């Protein structure tokens, strides 16, 4: 497909069907960072109410840096992937202490912060500062597979193949809305036909949540949010004797998320 026709198609759809989200109405890198971490593995409609409450309570990166872990995890309940909340707190403290509360403006500085990888760093720079960057996520992947690899064996197509197309079509004048447009078009495609991103070489299917380590870690943290401290024996009773509890407690302690004092556990 000709790149010009492709871009015209995407823009036309966007102008008629653009979605409205609170994080699209701000250029504050802190608020965009919050939205990006909330949106990881979570549908946008579920994120909106949590995002609004979170931003109301922690209006600035400094507010979040001074927050207690218990309060943040309490507010985070329902989003899952609790590690994201803890990464947010850690990053906020670094930004406050090292950068005086001002968000870094380079990929190199951003990617050393907890919870920020290559995609998130580039997304923050694009959505906050309208700086052209090349990045990919599931809806964008769906769009480029649909338009440029219709007749290809999709399982042979990698994200590197797609990134070449993305780089050639990025809108250098308004990259912020261009990526909004791509994401909206990808969402539409998933509603009308098979989600093609699941067939690409790079895509890894998410493992079931029920019975997973992720579910157990969430249950442990939820227990510690509700109780000031819990002994291993009581934790085992609460979580019905799951034989992985001890390993997960050790893991959470090593990662700096919980404290262990004489086999009694609490949040940091």
Model pLDDT for residues 232-251, shown as the tens digit of each residue: 999 999 998 888 999 999 99
Q: What residues does CATH 1.10.10.10 cover in the chain?
A: 213-267
What is the pLDDT confidence band of residue 99, given thresholds at 50, 70 and 90?
very high
Rounded to whole angstroms, the Cα distance separating 49 from 41 reads 16
pLDDT in tens, 191-213: 886 666 666 667 666 666 677 87
Q: How far is CA 265 from CA 115, 234, 252, in A?
A: 24, 10, 10
Mean pLDDT of 166-188: 97
CATH 1.10.10.10 fits 213-267, yes or no: yes
Distances, alpha carbon 111 to alpha carbons 26, 58, 72, 84, 163, in Å: 22, 23, 23, 15, 19
> How many angstroms separate the CA atoms of 6 and 27, rounded?
27
**Tokens standing for residue 151:** 């007749």
Question: Longest Cα pair distance anywhere in the chain, in angstroms?
Answer: 66
Q: Give yes or no for a contact between 197 and 146, defined as CB atoms under 8 angstroms apart.
A: no
Look up residue 102 and give its two tokens: 């001002």
- The CA-CA-CA angle for residues 32, 38, 41, to 5°, reads 130
φ, ψ of residue 165 in degrees (nearest 5)? -70, -40
- Looking at residue 245, its pLDDT comes to 92
Provide the pLDDT for residue 77: 87
Look at 51-65, 126-140, 202-216, 228-242 and tell me which has the smallest mean pLDDT.
Answer: 202-216
d(CA 215, CA 218): 5
Say yes or no to pLDDT of 222 above 70.
yes
Q: Which two tokens stand for residue 168?
A: 């050639």
Average pLDDT, the chain: 90
Annotated active-site positions, please? 36
- The alpha carbons of the chain give a radius of gyration, in whole angstroms, of 21
- Report the topology of domain 28-129: Endonuclease III; domain 1 (1.10.340)
Q: Which residues of the chain does CATH 1.10.340.30 include?
A: 28-129
Checking if the pLDDT of 109 tops 90, the result is yes
């Amino acid at each position: 497909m000709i790149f010009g026709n492709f871009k015209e198609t995407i823009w036309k759809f966007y102008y008629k069907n653009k979605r409205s989200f609170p994080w699209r109405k701000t250029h504050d890198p802190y608020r965009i960072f919050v939205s990006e971490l909330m949106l990881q593995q979570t549908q946008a409609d579920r994120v909106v109410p949590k995002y609004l409450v979170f931003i109301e309570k922690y209006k600035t990166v400094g507010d979040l840096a001074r927050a207690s872990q218990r309060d943040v995890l309490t507010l985070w309940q329902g989003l899952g992937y609790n590690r994201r909340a803890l990464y947010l707190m850690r990053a906020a403290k670094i930004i406050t202490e090292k950068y005086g509360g001002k968000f870094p403006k380079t990929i190199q500085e951003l990617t050393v912060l907890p919870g920020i990888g290559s995609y998130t760093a580039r997304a923050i720079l694009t959505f906050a500062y309208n700086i052209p960057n090349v990045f990919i996520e599931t809806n964008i992947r769906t769009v480029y597979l649909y338009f440029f690899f219709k007749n290809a064996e999709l399982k042979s197509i990698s994200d590197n193949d797609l990134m070449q197309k993305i780089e050639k079509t990025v809108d250098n004048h308004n990259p912020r809305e261009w990526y909004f447009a791509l994401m909206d078009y990808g969402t539409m495609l998933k509603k009308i036909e098979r989600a093609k991103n699941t067939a690409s070489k790079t895509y890894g299917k998410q493992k079931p949540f029920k019975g997973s380590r992720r579910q157990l870690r969430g249950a442990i943290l939820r227990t510690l949010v509700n109780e000031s401290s819990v002994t291993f024996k009581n934790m085992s009773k609460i979580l019905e004797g799951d034989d992985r509890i001890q390993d997960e407690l050790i893991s959470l302690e090593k990662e700096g998320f919980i404290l262990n004092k004489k086999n009694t556990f609490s949040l940091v």
